[in-house]
Amino acid sequence: MKNISSYQNKQVLVIGMGKSGVNSAKLLIKLGAQVIVNDKTDQPDQSQVDELKKIGVKVVTGSHPLELLDGTTTVVKNPVVPYNNPLVAKAIEEKISVITEPELAYQVLDATMIGITGTNGKTTTTTMITEMLNRNRSKGKAYAAGNIGIPATEIAQQATSDDVMVTELSSFQLMGIKTLHPHIAVLTNIYEAHTDWHGSHANYVNAKMRILMNQTENDYFVVNWDNEEARQFSKHTQATVVPFSREGRTEEGAYERDGVLYFKGEKIIDADQIGVPGLHNVENALAALAVAKLMGQTTENIKEVLQQFTGVRHRMQYITTFNERKFYNDSKATDIEATQKALDGFNQSVVLLAGGLDRGFKFDRLVPYFKKHVRALVVFGETAGLMANAGKKAGIKEIVKTKNAVTAVPEAYQLSQPGDVILLSPACASWDQWPTFEVRGDQYIKAVEDLIKKKEEAK
């Protein structure tokens, strides 16, 4: 970790007591800052509060008082706190620097940074890259960090110059960067998403493009050449562009041709040898192997990782097979495109569990995928009616409305037949019923386990 002096004896306000906020506060104390942590909750985790106070952090909860800005030189903002939050807006008005946690982490980072962003596939690609770079590594370590659930500030404090920090970066996080500079930036794809938070698709795209703003001609930009909007990003970087394509649009970087994955003409692996199903995972593998090759990894090590890769929790995660039904958890599918890709990953009939937060979208784009893959549909949450209407347009005859992803499990099993896939892929955020998609997925997994237990006991 670099021992920087820019925060010495400076007052820094950290907004949000999540993992990133707590780790930011701990790092700032190490850097000699006077730290205030503020969270709007009036029932904070008392053990966290006690831990922070013990190391000299002032903790203010229950509201966002504007007087916290008095004497503050920097605000480290939780990524999901909007910029129109009165405290954040006032800080910007007073020209106080407002950053997010990955920016703070980068300022002290000794390791090489690889940054991954995109609408879908970020976590899987981040995980693949990390595993590839660690396979038979002789010196240093690759760490996964960022939006994947491991605070970048936590990793930055332990990573050395021999290491690599493979960092998943959301649009919310990228809004708050200033100096963050990945040696390799990856854009998995770009689709309509988070317009409720960003205000427009253009704002969302501009947030994603910030991953490129500090790159130079000595860096690399790995970009999805099959995604037209993503290709446009390549016009806005000084870095060397390394495209990847599942549709054979390029042979310059990583690509698939006739069921085989290549990097610049060298065969890497047959697509059907990848350990996780779905065309989207072929795209993720192409992005990951491009990064691994740029970092000097061998083809054999890359191939081994892809063959053995079994997925990431909540992202097309295989749970179990029971009575000839395969259960999958894709709770991370918080937008329509993610569910489209999930459905395209299966040749079997699917009983789909879908629904959640209403962001004002219709689900007509799912109709052709429903027609092709879905035999029965269980809907829930704020969008249950909209999802059911899309199912009716697709000609699905068995549609059941239920409360949530937990109550959907027995309904889905009842509708299923031997050989079916039972898939949670909501196409919606979880916030109408669950605090995160992880909680939704965990509750779904538990519901599957409970269902199987009851069925076994009834025998």
Q: Where are the domains of the chain?
A: 11-95, 103-308, 317-457
Q: What is the pLDDT of residue 370?
A: 98
Average pLDDT rounded to a whole number, residues 281-300 = 97
Contacts of 150 (CB under 8 A, 6+ apart): 143, 144
* Residue appearing with tokens 């919606």: 428
Residue spans of beta strands (DSSP E) within 20-61: 34-39, 58-61
Whole-number average pLDDT of the chain: 95
Q: What is the pLDDT of residue 316?
A: 83
Between 156-160, 280-284, 419-423, the lowest mean confidence (pLDDT) is in 280-284
Q: Enter the pTM of the model.
A: 0.79
Q: What is the pLDDT of residue 250?
A: 85
Contacts of 261 (CB under 8 A, 6+ apart): 254, 255, 267, 268, 269, 270, 271, 282, 285, 286, 289
- Answer yes or no: is 237 a known binding residue: no
Whole-angstrom distance, CA of residue 21 vs CA of residue 37: 8
Distances (CA, A) of 253 to 44, 53, 114, 196, 219: 48, 50, 17, 35, 15
Q: What is the pLDDT of residue 192?
A: 74
DSSP string, 93-105: HTT-EEEEHHHHH
Tens digits of per-residue pLDDT, 358-410?
999 889 999 999 999 999 999 999 999 999 999 999 999 999 999 999 999 99
- Answer yes or no: is 391 a known binding residue: no
Tens digits of per-residue pLDDT, 331-371?
999 999 999 989 998 989 999 999 999 999 889 999 999 99
Whole-angstrom distance, CA of residue 422 vs CA of residue 349: 9
Helix 299-308, helix 279-294: angle, nearest 10: 150
Average pLDDT rounded to a whole number, residues 279-302 = 96
Count Cβ neighbours within 10 Å for each residue of 208-228 and write b for 16 or more, e otherwise: bbbbbbbbeeebbbbbbbbbe
Per the CB < 8 A criterion, the answer to whether 374 and 350 are in contact is yes
Per the CB < 8 A criterion, the answer to whether 56 and 32 are in contact is no
Of the candidates 117, 231, 99, the residue with the CA atom closest to the CA atom of residue 171 = 117
Q: pLDDT class for 459, splitting at 50, 70, 90?
A: confident
- Answer yes or no: is 339 a known binding residue: no
- Length of the chain equals 459
Residue 223 pLDDT greater than 90, yes or no? yes
Q: What is the pLDDT of residue 392?
A: 98
- Answer yes or no: is 179 a known binding residue: no
- Answer yes or no: is 123 a known binding residue: yes
Q: What is the pLDDT of residue 277?
A: 77
Q: Which CATH class is domain 11-95?
A: alpha beta
Average pLDDT rounded to a whole number, residues 221-225 = 97
Tens digits of per-residue pLDDT, 129-150?
999 999 999 999 999 999 988 9
The fourth-level CATH superfamily of domain 317-457 is: Mur ligase, C-terminal domain (3.90.190.20)
Average pLDDT rounded to a whole number, residues 48-77 = 96
Q: What is the pLDDT of residue 458?
A: 87
Contacts of 17 (CB under 8 A, 6+ apart): 37, 39, 41, 44, 45, 48, 59, 61
Q: What is the pLDDT of residue 251?
A: 84
- Answer yes or no: is 321 a known binding residue: no
Report CA 443 to chain centroid distance, whole Å: 19
Q: pLDDT class for 313, splitting at 50, 70, 90?
A: confident
Q: Return the number of other C-beta atoms located less than 10 Å from residue 46's C-beta.
A: 8
Instruction: Report CA Rg, the chain.
Output: 23
Tens digits of per-residue pLDDT, 13-56?
999 998 999 999 999 999 999 999 999 998 888 999 999 999 99
5 phi, psi to nearest 5 deg: -110, 0
Q: pLDDT class for 435, splitting at 50, 70, 90?
A: very high
Q: What is the pLDDT of residue 219?
A: 98
- Answer yes or no: is 160 a known binding residue: no
Whole-angstrom distance, CA of residue 190 vs CA of residue 437: 20
Whole-angstrom distance, CA of residue 206 vs CA of residue 65: 30
Residue 118 pLDDT greater than 80, yes or no? yes
Q: pLDDT class for 317, splitting at 50, 70, 90?
A: confident
Helix (H, G, I), strand (E, B) or coil at 45: coil
The fourth-level CATH superfamily of domain 103-308 is: Mur-like, catalytic domain (3.40.1190.10)
Between 81-95, 223-237, 391-405, the lowest mean confidence (pLDDT) is in 223-237
Q: Return the number of other C-beta atoms located less than 10 Å from residue 22's C-beta.
A: 22
Whole-angstrom distance, CA of residue 60 vs CA of residue 458: 52
Query: What percent of the chain is modeled with pLDDT above 70?
Result: 100
Q: What is the pLDDT of residue 194?
A: 74
Q: What is the pLDDT of residue 314?
A: 86
Plot region of 279 (φ>0 → left; ψ -120 to 50 → alpha; else → beta): alpha
Helix (H, G, I), strand (E, B) or coil at 174: helix
